[in-house]
Amino acid sequence: MNIHKTTIHAKCPLNGSWDYYTVSIETDEFIACEQIEELCDFVRGKSLEQERIAKDLHRSLGVKSKLILLGRHGQNTELKVVIE
């Protein structure tokens, strides 16, 4: 099992504040790190909901995988979205 991790940020579409995310991708298939960075660059800095980010990233990977998007919203709120 390969586990890739990176961080991204996006603007909250509700209040415009910055939200920060840890992206974890678990797969038995090969994914080049450059491919993951390219996909993440597409959403970095955009104004998107966490659930939309997770769905878009997972769909764009094109391999069987589990994507975990752990988001930090504001000072104290965390949300975890898991897509398999």
Q: Mean pLDDT for each 10-residue chunk of the chain (84 residues)?
A: 94 90 95 92 90 94 95 84 94
Q: Do 3 and 25 touch, CB atoms closer than 8 A?
A: yes
Give the global pTM: 0.89
Residue 74: per-residue pLDDT: 74
Residue 76: per-residue pLDDT: 73
Q: Do 39 and 61 touch, CB atoms closer than 8 A?
A: yes
Phi, psi angles (nearest 5°) of residue 78 = -120, 145
Long-range pairs for 74-81: beta carbons < 8 A, 24 or more residues apart: 74/17, 79/50, 81/50, 81/51, 81/54
CA 31, CA 66: separation in Å to the nearest integer?
13
